[in-house]
A and B are shown apart, each in its own frame.
Chain A
Amino acid sequence: MASCHEVNEDAEIYKKENKILLMGNPNVGKSVFFSDMTGIHVISSNYAGTTVTYTEGTVKLGDQNYTLIDVPGTYSLEATSEAEAVAVRFMNSNPVAVICVLDATNLERNIKLGLEIQKFNIPIVYALNLVDVAKRHGYEINAGLLSKELGAPVIPTVAVKGEGIKDLKEALQKVLSQPKNICGSCASCPGCKENEMDVWDRAKEIAAKVQKQVNGELSFLDKLGSSMLKPWPGIPIALLVIILSIGVIVGFGKVLQDGILLPLVDGIIVPFFRKLFSLVIPEGVLLNVLIGEYGIFVIGFEWIITLILPYVFLFYVVFSFLEDSGILPRLSVLFDNIMRKFGVQGGSMITILMGYGCAVPAIIGSRTATTKKERLIIASVICFAVPCISQTGALISLFANFSPLLLVLMFLLSFAVMMTVSGILGRVLKGKVDPLVIEIPNLLMPNAKAYGKKLMLRMKNFLVDAEVPMLFSILVAALLKETGLLNYIAVYLEPIVSGWLGLPKEAVIALILGIIRREMAVAPLLEIEGLTALQAFVGGTVALLYLPCLSVFGILTKEFNSKVALAIACSTVINALLVAGLINQIAHMII
């Protein structure tokens, strides 16, 4: 496996002085500690594997600055996976201290990792996180005793609420100011006993000693969380969640679009620029490029602000909630049996759902897949048939002029292609897909602050990453259309566009712009007058199945290689033209 491609790390980071490592099992809240301590916001979610590579930030303790590193979560330091290998490399890079986050709801396993970390003889402070959840499950942990057993400070925390962070910083400062050889006197240090004992046995022993059964009362969410794991009532709840999510995105998106953004853009912004430019610039090509039908200042606002933005925003409102609440891993469990039939496992579902937002983070997120074959299948499925939210937004607007039924049909078509692609690749590709093994996180109400920050970060990333290619494609559209260049190109593509696909020749713009960004394969269709329902559907199909945008091509090259990127690009284009053309031809035969 070409694991060296998978984590983009900077060798310099290992050489940095004054490093403090933040370590622990997956999904114990390391990223939340990181955000709280550094003020840098990293995306944290309620499932294992959000941090697939490290993040660094600065934390000030007293008057000394330290580099805090959010190390990917690991269950052990045996270097059996890429994340573990990264963790081991960090442990060997001479850090000044380690903050080891322990999950109070699963102490034994977490202590085991702590003991493994202690073997490196680096000053350590434990954060005993999720103490509130443990209590509800009927476990109370004696932090003082645990500290004695481990021979290091243990601070009880509830990271999502910010409880205990201050104490943690103080404890950290204390161990940092102590002389380094705390482990010199091994005889008296209980933390060193594990040198003779198996870490698992020692962890078991400690956990048994410090844990006390109390009368916990499971909250409503705890019970709901457990019941969601079984088909009844899990599947009805899951379907309700999915329908509700789509409803919120499509429904509120439409309201935002028609109620606020459209009047704002068409009523105020565009007329303002029309007036402004027609005063200054004489009539001609330049004026048309700026404010003509396809002018930069016309479609630039119409497409980006009204067509795409409301849906992108609402998608992340919904998706971030699903992520933080712990619903997604439950969906993975419920649908694992179906996913398995198509050559992947339930865990891939989270990554594919992420692709409905944007393919780029989804392809990066596919690193959590344990085999290369699985990664390739996930990435291909996303590229072939998962529309990103910008494109979905454009499709919603396109089909709104006809019937919502077309949108439903389009999604059914998308599922059919997804299943075909993963079914074929599952059989053709060499290698294997590991079965699902996941730890189910607690179901919880997202923390408002963390949720808000994450949403802002995602919107900022979208605006920064998408803005340039969007503006670029708008510029290309304006030049093609307003200079008349389009008519020259259209001649060559006419047999495909008009003959095979049955689309008007202006649709050529969609095919060209679709290379740059996915929604731009749809947006030009909205400008064509007199489009029939069939043409809209065929155009939508081409756009849906067409090659992913330039950014996706870039990320495929980076995460896999240029051969994979090219293979995906070519096969998606052929598939798109083939399927859409067949739909058109068959529909004509019937009608």
Chain B
Amino acid sequence: MKKSKISSETTQSIYYAEDNTQCIITDTPDYSILKSLGIVKNASVKKVFTHKLGGPVLVRVGSREIAIGKDIAVRIMVGGK
């Protein structure tokens, strides 16, 4: 599994972003449920953890935790805050 540090210049998938970091969403796939949950472009979210073996990624938006399955999560791009 590739893993790299978030820097303000590069963007990467939230799935591979470092755990426990605050990041800004730069791009998301077009799913209405993501939009509804506050996973929208320019939103500041905290990447909490990625589950192993193709499991979901945990993201904190405000004080709520959201789990996003791998297939969608890899397409959510984030940059540093």
Contacts and interface: CB of A to CB of B under 8 A. Distances in A.
B67 A436 contact: yes
Interface in B31-64: 31-38, 40, 48-49, 51-56, 58, 61-64
Nearest to B63: A137
A336 B51 contact: yes
B36 A109 contact: yes
Interface stretch (A51-59, A226-234, A513-521): A226-234
Interface string A439-475: 1100000000000000000000000000000000000
A333 B58 contact: yes
Given A229-B49, A337-B51, A76 B36 contact: yes
Nearest to A134: B63
Contact of A437 (B37, B51, B52, B64): B37
A436 B56 contact: yes
Given A106-B61, A436-B67, A336 B55 contact: yes
Contact of B52 (A229, A231, A435): A231
A435 B68 contact: yes
A136 to B, nearest CB: 9
A437 B55 contact: no
B33 A200 contact: no
Nearest to A335: B55
Interface residues of B, number: 31
Given A336-B69, A435-B69, A437-B31, A105 B62 contact: yes
Interface string A311-354: 00000000000000000010011101110110001100000000
Given A436-B68, A437-B37, A106 B63 contact: yes
A332 B34 CA distance: 18
Nearest to A203: B38
Nearest to B70: A435
**Which secondary structure dominates chain B's binding surface?**
mixed
Contact of B67 (A333, A341, A434): A333
B40 to A, nearest CB: 7
A75 B33 CA distance: 8
A439 B49 contact: no
A435 B36 contact: no
Contacts of A200: 40
B50 to A, nearest CB: 10
A576 interface: no
Contacts of B32: 75-76, 78, 80-81
Given A105-B63, A226-B65, A333-B67, A437 B49 contact: no
B70 A229 contact: no
B40 A346 contact: no
B69 A345 contact: yes
Interface of B: 31-38, 40, 48-49, 51-56, 58, 61-73
Given A75-B37, A346-B69, A436-B56, 5 more contacts: A139-B63, A336-B51, A337-B52, A340-B70, A438-B66
7 contacts: A75-B32, A76-B36, A78-B32, A105-B62, A107-B62, A229-B65, A338-B53
